[in-house]
Amino acid sequence: MKPFTRTIIDLFDGKRRYLIPLYQRQYAWKVTPQLELLWQDIAREAGRLEVGGGAVAPHFMGAIVIAQVKTFGKQVQAFEVIDGQQRLTTFQLLMVALRDVAAKYSPEYAAESAKHLINDGVMEDPAIERFKLWPSLADRRAFTRVVDPTAVVPGLEGIDADGDGVVRPATAAHAYFAQRIEAHICPDGAYDPFRLEKLFEALKTGLAVVSIELEGGDDPQTIFETLNSRGVDLTAGDLMRNFIFQRATGLGMVAGDLAIDQLYRGYWLPLDAWFWREGDTRGRLTRPRLDWLLSDHLAMMKAELVSVETLFDSYRRWIVDGKPFGGDVEAELKAIAASATVFRRLSGGGKNDVLGRFGRFSRAFDVSTATPLVLYLGTTIDDPTELGAALAIIESFIVRRDICGLTTAGYNKVFTDLISRLRSVERQALLGTLRDGVAAGTLDTVRWPDDAEFGDAWRSRTQYKPARQGRLRHLFERLEERKRASASEIVEIKTDLTLEHIMPQKWRTHWPISGFGHEDEAAPSAEFLSRQAAREGKVHTLGNLTLLTHALNAAVSNGAFSVKMPAIRAQSALVLNRDLHDYAEWDEDTITARGASLFKIAAQLWQAPPPSVSSPVSPGV
């Protein structure tokens, strides 16, 4: 690589173009702090010249990294911007503002500034090549309209359209510099030509960057990472995007654009949508959704655990050392795009999509550790029925273990190990291999509970805790759906459902134990204490929970059986609550009976492991 010192004017002197690849981040410099700091440097240098400051070394304002692009015939000499697009774009917007302000006071400086914005003479495609800087697609309309409001630029139909009320960063930067320049050259409201002269001189001689121009053997990605190691933090997604596309450089241009941009449009452009930039939390970590996708994708591809905190380094080592795609960047991008399609369907939560339904389940049970396995299944199985059957195995494994109180600590390894197992078999054996693989574990950390253990925990184990409301609500929604299907009902409940105890948690006031009165509270007998303990053990079991289409008020929720039960039964839009008409009273025995009734449905929804490998019931469960 060859480093050069270039002043701001030098960067745009002569006939040349700087092309910003589409995969790079959009222009994002803001007034505070970036533009204000830059203007302070400019004003300081101009002020030094105004008071007769002699020739000194220019003030350096960072570095840019560029690589020359092969051009042919009448094409204008072009450079791909590897790093420094924010500075280059800002310098151009500064020159535009200088031109526009000078046009009101000193046309000769306006004409001089314009030379550093627009190419002239012979070109292959003047509509595009006349611009010395060619931004990425998202910034192109706003930028070109600032440089030349009358220009008709092809390829911008529907891109960054006006009318959304958003001020683009390029537009805001131009307005800021125009205001500052005019205030500088008109300090008391009167134009001072000397100050404009020294301002232009500062740009011409006093402010410079280091322009690093790459040669054939240089590694642009390493240089990019080094220069950005102490700047604004880049996400793993930012680093991976640059790592992937910078390995596809050297493809030249097509119709004035970098050929590499076609790969970006085809595969990565959808990943730059806002959906992927939104933060998502798993455990204690919050990351852009794109980072989670890429970590899950890499875990799926490697069938190994991958930490999002070391995602980029892990991905780079995998590509460089393993060469899984043989250097074919398009194949690499296709694999990511396929995983992104599955991930998006999981996130969408569509009720009529097997992946969307599993995504809703995954969020309710907080089991994102299964996502790498689901990505593998979703990118391997095309048939929705077969995919649904595969996902049902995973869901059953998770639900049964959850109800039985078994740990989730080893799930990430369980699911990535299954990917390796599935890759080793023929496609037609995948579903059976998945079922046998899930059922193979015998230790408490990995086993799939059978009906005996699942049923015992369903009927008798305390399940309700405030932190578990989301997953319990999901379970009861699934029970409601199955009961509706059995009743041939297709009515959809569109309101948000709430979870409710039938016998209230505060049962002591209005739900006395049969055969005992309030006087027993003062001097409780052993039998009374035993009955109390038995009731406390039943209140938070599944047999005592239901769904409501709207929450009961506190008075009804904690009210007596004669008040609360009619209120629940009145919400007959839910089949779960119609069944409550069968019960004339509500006590521990009734709760047990209803729990057993619900379990018959649960055992169908969340299938048991194959009988030959059913796990034994652990003592004390």
Mean pLDDT of 229-248: 74
Mean pLDDT of 379-404: 97
CB contact set of 275 (below 8 Å; sequence gap of 6+):
289, 344, 347
Q: Which of 49-63, 347-361, 368-382, 498-512 has the least mean pLDDT?
A: 49-63
Tokens of 161: 């359209």
CB contact set of 93 (below 8 Å; sequence gap of 6+):
143, 146, 170, 173, 174, 177
Q: Is residue 242 part of a domain?
A: no
Which of 218, 234, 251 marks a domain boundary? 218
Q: For residue range 541-580, list pLDDT tens digits in order.
A: 999 999 988 888 777 888 888 888 888 888 778 888 888 8
Triad 41, 46, 51: Cα angle to 5°:
130
Does residue 399 share a domain with residue 271? yes
**CA distances from residue 23 to 155, 169, 240, 242 in whole angstroms, order as listed:** 17, 18, 10, 7
Q: Is residue 261 part of a domain?
A: no
Residue 42 and residue 199 in contact, taking contact as beta carbons nearer than 8 Å: yes
Which of 409, 437, 457 marks a domain boundary? 457
Report the pLDDT value the prediction gives residue 528, as an integer from 0 to 100: 81
Q: Is residue 238 part of a domain?
A: no
Does residue 283 share a domain with residue 198? no
Q: What residues make up the domain containing 536?
A: 467-613
Given a cut of 60, whether residue 614 has pLDDT beyond it is no
Does residue 491 share a domain with residue 355? no
Does residue 471 share a domain with residue 443? no
Maximum alpha-carbon separation in the chain: 105
Q: Is residue 245 part of a domain?
A: no
Q: Which backbone phi and psi does 118 adopt, to 5 degrees?
A: -125, 130
**CA distances from residue 270 to 219, 286, 439 in whole angstroms, order as listed:** 27, 21, 38
Question: How many distinct structural domains can be found in the chain?
Answer: 3
Q: For residues 163 and 228, what is the distance between their CA atoms, to the nearest angstrom?
A: 35
CB contact set of 72 (below 8 Å; sequence gap of 6+):
none
Does residue 211 share a domain with residue 168? yes
Given a cut of 80, whether residue 286 has pLDDT beyond it is yes
Report the pLDDT value the prediction gives residue 520, as an integer from 0 to 100: 65
Q: Is residue 529 part of a domain?
A: yes
CB contact set of 114 (below 8 Å; sequence gap of 6+):
99
Q: For residue range 21-32, list pLDDT tens digits in order.
A: 877 778 889 999
SS (H, E, C) 147-163: HCCCCCCCCCCCCCCCC
Does residue 588 share a domain with residue 542? yes
Which of 457, 486, 507 marks a domain boundary? 457
Report the pLDDT value the prediction gives residue 557, as an integer from 0 to 100: 85
Does residue 481 share a domain with residue 448? no
Q: For residue range 126-137, list pLDDT tens digits in order.
A: 999 999 999 988
Q: Is residue 520 part of a domain?
A: yes
Q: Which of 63-67, 471-475, 522-526, 594-598 has the least mean pLDDT?
A: 522-526
Does residue 318 share a domain with residue 406? yes
Does residue 607 share a domain with residue 525? yes
Q: For residue range 145-168, list pLDDT tens digits in order.
A: 999 998 887 766 555 444 444 578
Does residue 69 share a domain with residue 198? yes
Mean pLDDT of 401-427: 95
Given a cut of 80, whether residue 392 has pLDDT beyond it is yes
Q: Is residue 236 part of a domain?
A: no
Does residue 181 share a domain with residue 152? yes
Query: Which of these, 252, 229, 210, lies nearest to 21 by C-alpha position?
Result: 252
Q: Is residue 253 part of a domain?
A: no
Does residue 380 share a domain with residue 325? yes
